[in-house]
Amino acid sequence: MVTPDVSDISPNTAYLTYCHARSRFIVYTRFKGVIAMIFNYIRVSTGDQNSARQLAEVKADRVYKEVASAKSKNRPQLTAMLSNLRKGDVVNVHELSRLARSVRDLIEIVESILSSGASIVFQKENLKFEAGEKQDAFQNLSLNLLGAVAQFERELLLERQREGIAIAKGQGKYKGRRTKFTDKDIEKMRNEFFHASNKTQLAKKWGISRQYLYQIAS
């Protein structure tokens, strides 16, 4: 492979060149002489949600795909990505809510990425934060405001759901959420529930939470 000549590129000038090498992309960044990588972080809350729209046209060396709630920062794929970040790397996220739900978590994760020497780009909001650069005041304000709006909208949605469920229960119309399992699956699950000594492992086997397992078995 022929390496591009970057000797005349200023260290302060962003320089991105995609090079095909063994089906991966090598990114030459503004950090002169450093070969960096592009990471895409994709998250959905449940396995039946479609993640295809996230970063569909954004190429990367490595994709970290998470099926987990963003209520916690302790997510396996997020943790793995953060531990692999090096100086000059770039992280792409489809939108703010894919990275975190609360403003505090959002800011802490972004700061963690920047402290490792990497940069992060939120594609939908068109926000980019680069390590070692003095952050634009408007961008910092946008991160806080947009994060706060996303958190508010989420909490408002949950509040409306709770109110709707309470009204439906009062009218005798609420039957709980629809299940993806067939009657045969539920019967088998209930039978396994009463014979299983480890309910947590049984819940993992079926891909559901322990709480939902108890609801089905009741």
Annotated catalytic sites, by residue? 45
One-letter amino acid at 135 equals Q
CA distances from 102 to 93, 95, 203, 206 (A): 16, 13, 27, 29
Tell the burial category of 156 from Cβ atoms under 10 Å away from its Cβ (0-12, 13-18, 19+): exposed
Where are the extended beta strands (E) located within the chain? 18-21, 24-28, 35-36, 38-44, 62-67, 90-93, 119-122, 127-129
Q: What's the start-to-end Cα distance of the chain, in Å?
A: 62
- Nearest-CA neighbor of 80 among 29, 39, 121? 39
Report residue 215 as tokens.
Answer: 């609801």
C-alpha span between 157 and 162 (Å, rounded): 9
Joined together, the tokens standing for residue 114 give: 């920047």
